[in-house]
Structure 1
């Protein structure tokens, strides 16, 4: 099932470069080669550290920043199609991974879109993959995806920056964190029609190998699944935002598993999976949608059977796989701000709302919260026999999209 070369990519992601206790910077042989920039960054295992701007490194001038966003995502949420929204957002990442197999690169999932950065030698492949996903989203789901690519030197000339860090979320998985405000600017420009790409030729197909959404929704265990989006106000300094983010993280750290929406032994295993049709669209290529769906249902039924019976088959341990899912899940991130999907009790939710309201009134941040009863997960699984699968968590009834909509306009 795996595209040739994707294994090398995931081995590269899992390699810890220069990590040494609390001082990972100490042994990192930073290179002057632009293409090696991201793979030579250290991995930080403490998420709270990444609230601080000095853990981030600016992207090279010749790198390209890609952005995407679903037009009309609020309407799709109202129609109950948020799982489709998440699938399209994750498809942007999946297509880039498969287009650049072999080397790590920074990306971030945003619910109704995704952003990423690539070195200049990847530009053409990145543009083709991004345009192909836009075509696929329209043809498969009737979804309009806005996309854009802008070079860092142009982004800096406009007075903005993009800085990245690598969060070592689990033994075999790390996620990029972004700071500097440049991603937000690039997304705003994209929505205004700048940095657009030529349309993909008819018949173009993105390579979405590994993209899936087989897990059932995860019911809140403690009260509410709370989607949180916090962004600095224009005049807020990095240090001021860092202080606020640290207070927020200290507050939510008291939640069970830090607010992780997935239980320690992983998400629920149900059959048939609710996302089988979405997955079929991702894996069909130029083949039959019916056959692709049958294949997706068959594979998920085998997993369900192995999990229920405890039988291990060809090296695959369903119980181990499920347990690893939770640790690998991307339920919090720094993305020109702080985004989290939390399983939250009523008292902590009230305290968090009070803290954020005070910070907004003081002119430090703007924020949006959205409460729902369940979380959901969209996944990239290059191989079920290794632990480097990635899982993007969002609220199941609007999530990050609705939380962002709740943010008040400046002034």
Structure 2
């Protein structure tokens, strides 16, 4: 099993994001690898009820459960706001399926959220006429993220929504291992005007080079924004006490503990963290200023997932330029896209340890950015 995991772990990393617009930087996954997908049923309706943070937490829980099940081995995954996808070697498929099923039953029993889940082999995806290729983006010194191309993830998600490739359901009461999953940072207010969530998908049958060229143009224009449109300040996001979503955090980390007790623990833990972060106190080797900067540099605010997704801090002129570029490309039959604007971005985190720079942070618009943008494509 270790050698099979090494396939992804040994791939080279690249630290220039615009390179991932080109198919040349991707490597095809082996035929016997498995692709896991997940998606919240009725996520747009859940967001309309104000449950956008819960939607994000359930999506990130899929990744958290897989990371913990992989026990430190490198695993490609991608966060989509209201769901997530990942890939793993065949020898790990049974373990991955159990972790995925555990999140499914937990989401239903804890939050009343119906989570679709499925797994399908890369070989089956290729027989359907699609591919799954992967590359690694080095976001910071300590963290890299998987990028996907080939259309196979999107095909697998469509198959899942049609009811195919289901996995066995977990027994009622099954709890996933979500160690490290949290949501304790404050929302990040737009500094330049608006938080813009963008979802861009290639049109069916389009020349990949044509789509790549448009993505390169989009990224080049967005790159002119302050910090390339990164929603987090360079010093990291802010904090307040009590945290905005501490009750949600308590539910995620509750395990077998009474919820009221876990809420008290979260309030105590976050009070200590608030003091350390805001007073800049170093204790036991923990440097709060360094950690906050790591949070910002490690954050995943743009990705290739059979298309381009970004949540960026954007001014009006750049938004107009991006929309003009995308309108022109859509008129030429190259792509479909959706945009959603909001005042804030939010962050959902997986932090195995704040002492080691391997913590990852998923950024989305604070009013359901990716989900709302994708819904425009479906309705448009």
Per the normalisation by structure 2, the TM-score is 0.98
List per-residue Cα deviations over 1:229-260 (Å, max 9, x = no partner). Answer: 00000121211111111000110011000000
CA contact (8 A) 2:106 2:173 kept: no
Contact 1:166-1:177 within 8 A present in 2 as well:
yes
The alignment of Structure 1 onto Structure 2 pairs a total of residues equal to 379
Matched, 1:175 2:167: no
Segments of structure 1 that go 5 or more residues without pairing to the other structure are 1-31
Are 1:163 and 1:178, in contact at CA under 8 Å, matched by a contact in 2?
yes
**Greater CA deviation, 266-275 or 249-258?**
266-275
Equivalent position of 2:342 in the other structure: 372
Partner of 1:22: none
Instruction: Identify the residue that residue 213 of structure 1 maps to in structure 2.
Output: 183
What is the rounded CA distance, in whole Å, between the counterparts of 2:379 and 2:58 in structure 1? 27
Q: Report deviation, 1:284.
A: 1.3
Match of 1:270 among 229, 232, 240: 240
Find the counterpart in structure 2 of residue 390 from structure 1. Answer: 360
Q: Is the 8 A contact 1:366 1:408 kept in 2?
A: no
The gaps in structure 2 that reach 5 residues or longer are none
**Structure-1 separation of matches of 2:26 and 2:101:** 29
What pairs up with 1:227-238 in 2 under 5 angstroms?
227-238=197-208
How far 1:203 sits from its partner (Å)? 2.3
Q: What stretches of structure 1 move > 6 A for 4+ residues in a row?
A: none
Q: What's 2:163 paired with?
A: 193
Partner Cα separation in structure 2 for residue 55 and residue 329 of structure 1: 22
Is the aligned partner of 1:246 residue 2:181?
no
Distance in 2, matches of 1:321 and 1:301, equals 17
Q: Does 1:147 align with 2:117?
A: yes
CA drift of 1:35 comes to 3.4
Q: Which of 35, 53, 63 is matched with 1:83 structurally?
A: 53
* Aligned partners of 2:5 and 2:73 also within 8 Å: no
Give the counterpart of 1:349 among 319, 333, 337: 319
CA distance in 2, matches of 1:170, 1:143: 34
CA distance in 2, matches of 1:262, 1:215: 11
Q: For residue 270 of structure 2, what is the aligned residue in structure 1?
A: 300
Residues 238-291 of structure 1, C-alpha deviations (whole Å, 9 max, x = no match)? 111111110001100110000000011110111111121111112111221122
Q: Report the counterpart of residue 290 of structure 1 in structure 2.
A: 260
Q: Does 1:310 align with 2:280?
A: yes
Partner of 2:333: 363
Compute the displacement of 1:34 (Å): 3.7
1:95 aligns with 2:65: yes
Cα distance in 1, alignment partners of residues 71 and 333 from structure 2: 43
Distance 1:322 1:34 in 2: 35
Distance 1:161 1:322 in 2: 38
Q: Provide the secondary structure at the position in 1 that maps to 2:263.
A: helix
